[in-house]
Amino acid sequence: MSARTLHLNLFVYPGGHHEAAWRYHGTDPDRLLDIGFYQDLARRAEAAAFDAVFFADGPSLADNVRYASRFRLEPFTWLSAVAAATERIGLIATASTTYTEPYNLARLFASLDHLSRGRAGWNIVTTGAPQAAGNFGLDEHPVHAERYDRAREFVEVVTRLWDSWEDEALVADQKSGVFADTDRIHEIGHSGRHLRVRGPLNLPRSPQGRPVYVQAGSSEDGRSFAAAHAEAVFTAHQTLRGGQDFYADLKARAAALGRDPGRLLVLPGISPFIGSTEAEARALHAEFDELTQPEYSLQLLRRLLGLDLTADQLDGPVPRRLIETEGERGNGSRFRLVLDIIDREQPTVRGLMHRLAGARGHRVVAGTPEQVADQIQEWFEQGAADGFNVMPPWLPGGFDLFADQVVPILRARGLFRTAYDATTLRGHYGLPRPAASPALR
């Protein structure tokens, strides 16, 4: 196997990533609130030696659940149950820096890392959904720049809390009766623009030192944040060139900050429709698109682009001139991605709805197992990705096809491991265990 190998995560979304997945005959909507369903998925991903399972979250009901399975299970409860059912696979959860407090979040992730023996990862987001504000007693959602300013301070605080116990602080010496060396446990005494936290954390430093820092966001603020803090970046790109540009830019930003670019993994999303022939795969994709509900898709376009369209406009062109590119919405990376699709492909409204139905702007591919593997290999070897978030259109069948038919091809080409050679998420990603910050000493 080559020195550089792919990293693969299973990105779990209730039912699957296509918005109509719950209607497909290969899914069982009655199991979407059954933890056994998700434990089985994680065990299948672990059997395929995937780096991690990733569970996204948001602190509001963002989409119209009248037409799609877009509810949100709480991720720490979910991942704790998955941790108990698995042994090696990484466990990544989304948690917002805008709508959580750093002390509580530090405890949750440190606890998950301890109880899973070093498999936790934090997907750091600032939350883009404005409706979340009303769930937390706020009159309005903080603007994009303000959210990132808080996020930078938030990560600093959480890092210092995770480092507030030195590695040698836990003694547990039964003979002497000393359980912890309190000289090695430190208050952090943080008082900043957004946050005040005394510390220390109320449990020892975790097996990984710190859970893996993951980030999702490709705006200018998001890229700067990722270059400074992230160890893995979840991103969305439609073209190889777009992926290459992002990859090169992010690695260069990290290097300019004195970081090793090899310790910042770029992991785009990919949602594969797999068939024994390309025609079969495309027919499967079309079958899913036929199950979409226009009412849901139109609401999605309204939220993403600010377009207020009706069903009688579905087969007409997307009214590009009506899309406002300035203001708060224009700062979003997903907005820019969708705008690029419109400008490049000039789709009808229905065509754009179908483009977004598969994976909300992530890359959707339809082909044979060999063709899917070819695209993964091309992006990996041509400087666009260090690996991928695999986003099955439906679950569990969409993942089973990928694991059974695509993964063996990647292994035969020397691109992906045949078995784990590490026990922690940092180990899977090839990341070192960080030393505790000396700033508290």
Sign for the CA dihedral angle at 305, 310, 314, 318 comes to: negative
* Cα-only R_g, the chain: 22
DSSP state of 324: -
CA 366/CA 283 separation, integer angstroms: 9
The whole-number pLDDT of residue 363 equals 92
Angle between helices 349-357 and 333-345 (to 10 degrees): 130
What is the CA angle 9-14-16, rounded to 5?
65
Smallest CA-to-CA distance from 398 within 72, 84, 25, 69 is with: 25
pLDDT in tens, 283-317: 999 999 999 988 888 888 888 888 888 888 888 99
- Segments of the chain with pLDDT less than 70: 1-2, 62-63, 327-331, 439-441
Q: Could you tell me the CA-to-CA distances from 366 to 19, 283, 372, 402, 430 in Å, in that order?
A: 16, 9, 7, 12, 31
- What contacts 143, CB < 8 A, 6 or more positions away? 328
How do 387-390 and 7-12 pair as beta strands? parallel
The CA-based dihedral angle spanning residues 243, 249, 251, 257, taken in that order and rounded to the nearest 10 degrees: -160
What per-residue confidence (pLDDT) applies to 1? 40
d(C-alpha 359, C-alpha 357), whole Å: 6
Provide the residue ranges of all domains of the chain, joining segments of one domain with +.
7-274+363-440
| CATH architecture of residue range(s) 7-274+363-440 | Alpha-Beta Barrel (3.20)
Q: What is the pTM of this model?
A: 0.93
